[in-house]
A = this chain, B = another copy of it.
């Protein structure tokens, strides 16, 4: 075998270019040629590493989800054990809000794709619904445990509280993305919410 190129790395470079284009001009502006130009490669190369456009998008989303999972795991590892529910929740919220540029790009691409999945049953199955659903289950478990240990008040419903947390988080994220609110203001509201949750 000749030339020997790291496909994973090449694919990551192209996927990053896609994310940059999408974050700058929107997902509708993501064309094979635009991604190729942004990545500094030829159109043919994008075709070579991702057979089709659907696979390009799919692969990019998978990469984003994997990185998100990694960051989340790193945050969790930095917490004391056993993990206090409040620290867990706050770590989650700090991760799931578009604060810096990278995070903004991530959430923008994700949200755009979610909107596509709303009408395309082909896309609906994949992790773009399952990811948040999984997070919600995990959060529910943490809150349930916290309630059992007395960290959370007994009259709180873990499942509903988890749904509420994800909902308020997503809603604030959207308001930041559209420029209605700054990340700091959004974080303020989230802190208020968490404070209410644990301190009543």
Contacts of A26 in B (CB 8 A): 115-116, 118-120
A96 to B173, CA, bound (A): 18
A10 on the interface (CB 8 Å rule)?
no
Contacts of A108 in B (CB 8 A): 118-119
Task: Report copies per complex.
Answer: 2
Contacts of A128 in B (CB 8 A): 178
- Which residue of chain B has its CB nearest to the CB of A120? B26
A127 on the interface (CB 8 Å rule)?
no
Query: For this complex, into which size category does the number of interface residues on chain A fall?
Result: 35 or more
- Which residue of chain B has its CB nearest to the CB of A196? B196
Question: Which of B24, B157, B172, B200 interacts with A167 by CB under 8 Å?
Answer: B172
- Further pairs besides A163-B175, A163-B181, A167-B169: 16, Cβ < 8 Å: A114-B174, A114-B178, A117-B178, A118-B179, A132-B180, A157-B192, A160-B192, A164-B168, A164-B192, A166-B171, A167-B167, A167-B170, A167-B189, A170-B170, A171-B171, A196-B196
